[in-house]
Amino acid sequence: MARIYGLETEYGLAHTADPDGRRIGPEEIARYLFRPVVEWGRSSNVFLPNGSRLYLDVGSHPEYATAECDDLGDLLSQDRAGEGLMIDLLDKAQTALEVDGIGGRVHMVKNNTDAAGNSYGSHENFLIRRTLDFNRLTTVLLPFLVSRQLLVGAGAVIPRRSAFTPDEEADRSEMMFGLSARSDVMWEGLSSATTRSRPIINARDEPHADAEKYRRLHVIVGDSSMSTATSALKIGSAVLMLDLIEQGARIPENGLRHPVRDIRLVARDLTGRVVLERTDGTTTTPLGLLGDYRDRAQRIVESGEHSLGDDDLAHYVIDLWTRMLTAVESQDFSTVDTEIDWVMKRTLIERSLQRGITDIADPRIHRLDIAFHDITPATGLFPKLEAAGMAKSLVPAEAAERSKDVPPASTRAAIRGEFVRAAHAARRDYTVDWVHLRLNDESGRAVALKDPFATTHPQAETLIAGL
Ligand code: ATP
Ligand code: MG
Ligand code: MG
């Protein structure tokens, strides 16, 4: 069984000024950051030789969308390569700021909330077959997505009492450590709007592939992950759920009666025992749901009929999933404390609370939280944990470095990467999107790579050979 998946990550930008210097805002930082990108590709929206897309959308959150992968290891490596590329751009921006006499220090964070409290995303994309009943799929998947944060949330200081309707205000007088801040900005299970009434699953039907055969599932509820182990469990568990559904597993179809309420309740319960009501009136808990899914996913991994592309990683996903459930049940997290984002963040916060900070809403805790997500090598906490061996990494530095230039070999990204590299080297004017390759200075039509699994394409090869 095979599946395509890709991960979009938006980053946050900040600048700390020198004592006597000017402080610049995110938009100006973004302009500095994208200067080399614009020089390279004459646009702030480019596809790179590794098959990925690097761009600056509205607002000032640089985004990296990985190339299409059909192997979990490739995805982890491509995503890390994106971090590496951002760090390279950050270094150049830092130098340019110094040259321009602005100085200070620029920072980049891989989190999901900016200083003004706006939420931004990490989108997971999964190829599904058009023959699948989309409504059934989302009904079965929603309880999984509502509860998955117990395994892979980034951890966040959130109001103890959330707002349950969009016109309510959360009560920020009492704060607590919860699993995810992203849960509080989800207002629907499924919809095609991504901004105001943000849904857990985006229903926009834009397959980036042969629309008769495929559909792209666009999940927007997840937190960005610092740990590659957390990423592996986040994406790996979702892929296995889709495998189960596509293979016709009889997962109970009665969804949750109040998904928008439940996602907030789950975020506030570190024990996984909060009671969730199903549409048929029965009840369950996050631990109950995730334990049931884990058992089914384990069977699919043992049968080899999964689409993670790598049996060892598939077994690792099941193993970490199992250890995490046991940890939550026993509240002894020592077996997962180098692998799961929220567990690692909580340990850091608890240590500060023991060292005399009494209030979890203290600005120093807030700064610690931001530092956890800072990917800047000089100031980031997570990179330090990894370097010290206190956070497990599934992606060797050399693999991430290589993926900055080399696309996944087993999807159409390989063709796109080759085209971009060759067209750029030949100084040709070209346009690329997820499906198309085109030379603008030729009257020929765009080549359409409609099959994301295909690594060869005669027309594309002719186009590349002619460069
Ligand atoms: P937006 O940024 O507005 O959400 P978008 O969802 O089209 O737009 P992009 O930022 O362009 O997103 O990223 C698309 C992601 O989908 C990439 O990570 C890419 O690898 C992945 N992808 C491309 N084609 C497919 C496909 N056929 N099935 C699943 N994933 C795909
Ligand atoms: Mg995007
Ligand atoms: Mg998207």
CA 254 to chain centre: 27
Residue 193 has pLDDT above 70, yes or no: no
The vertex-436 CA angle with 435 and 440, nearest 5°, equals 165
SS3 state at 365: helix
Average confidence (pLDDT) over 329-343: 98
66 lines ligand 1 (CB under 6 A): yes
Å from CA of 8 to ligand 2 middle: 5
- Looking at residues 233-253, what average pLDDT do you find? 92
DSSP string, 74-142: HHHHHHHHHHHHHHHHHHHHHHHHHHTT--SEEEEE-SSB-TT--B--EEEEEEEETTS-HHHHHHHHH
Residue 120: band (very low, low, confident or very high) from pLDDT cuts 50, 70, 90: confident
50 lines ligand 1 (CB under 6 A): no
In the predicted structure, residue 195 carries a pLDDT above the cut 70? no
The response to whether residue 125 sits with its C-beta less than 6 Å from ligand 1 reads yes
Question: Are 142 and 278 a contacting pair, CB within 8 Å?
Answer: no
Name the residue with the closest Cα to ligand 1, atom 2: 8
Residue with CA closest to ligand 1 atom 6: 218
CA of 58 to the centre of ligand 2 (A): 11
Residue 356 or residue 64, greater confidence = 64
Pocket test for ligand 1, best of 434, 435, 450, 451 (most atoms within 8 A of CB): 434
Write the pLDDT tens digit of every residue in 159-192.
999 988 888 888 899 999 999 999 988 888 887 7
Whether pLDDT at 4 is above 80: yes
**66 is annotated as contributing to ligand binding:** yes
Please give all residues whose CB falls under 5 A of ion ligand 3, grouped by chain where several chains appear. 8, 123
Q: What is the pLDDT of residue 247?
A: 92
Ligand 3 center to 127 CA (angstroms): 13
Question: According to the model, what pLDDT value does residue 167 have?
Answer: 84
Atom of ligand 1 nearest to the CA of 214: 27
Q: Is the CB of 457 under 6 A from ligand 1?
A: no
> What angle do helix axes 228-246 and 311-330 make, rounded to 10 degrees?
100
pTM: 0.97
- State the average pLDDT over residues 304-323: 98
Query: CA 119, 223, 435 angle in degrees (round to 5)?
Result: 90
Q: Terminal CA-to-CA distance of the chain, rounded, Å?
A: 36
More confident residue, 189 or 421: 421
Distance 57 CA to ligand 1 centre (A): 14
The verdict on the CB of residue 217 being under 6 Å from ligand 1 is no
Contact (Cβ atoms closer than 8 angstroms) between residue 85 and residue 91: no
pLDDT at 225 exceeding the cut of 90: yes
Tell me whether residue 240 is exposed, middle or buried, using C-beta atoms within 10 angstroms of its C-beta: 0 to 12, 13 to 18, 19 or more: buried
State if residue 407 touches ligand 1 by the CB under 6 angstroms criterion: no
What's the gap in Å between 6 CA and the centre of ligand 1?
6
Among candidates 20, 35, 3, 48, which has minimal Cα distance to 430? 48
Residue 20, exposed/middle/buried by CB under 10 A (0-12, 13-18, 19+)? exposed
For this structure, is 374 an active site residue?
Answer: no
For residue 227 the two structure tokens come to 């740990």
Contact present, 24 and 8 (Cβ < 8 Å): no
- Strands of 436-439's sheet in order across: 430-432, 436-439, 447-448
Over residues 355-367, the mean pLDDT reads 94
Residue 118: predicted pLDDT: 81
Give me ligand 3 centre to Cα 109, in Å: 19
From 61, 124, 208, mutation site for ligand 1 pocket: most ligand atoms within 8 A of C-beta? 208
pLDDT at 13 over 90: yes
Stretch among 55-64, 296-305, 379-388 having the lowest mean pLDDT: 55-64
> Does position 194 have pLDDT exceeding 70, yes or no?
no
Q: Please check if 55 is assigned to a binding site.
A: yes
Which tens digits make up the pLDDT trace of 257-308? 999 999 999 999 999 999 999 999 999 999 999 999 999 999 999 999 999 9
Confidence of residue 53 (pLDDT cuts 50, 70, 90): very high
What is the bridge-based pairing of β-strands 199-202 and 188-191? parallel
Predicted confidence (pLDDT) at residue 115 exceeds the cutoff of 80? no
Residue nearest to atom 19 of ligand 1 (CA): 6
**ipTM of this predicted complex?**
0.98
Indicate if ligand 1 lies below 6 Å from the C-beta of 198. Answer: no
Cβ of residue 123 lying under 6 Å from some atom of ligand 1: yes
196 — pLDDT class (breaks 50, 70, 90): low
The overall average pLDDT reported for the chain is 95
Residue 384 has pLDDT above 90, yes or no: yes
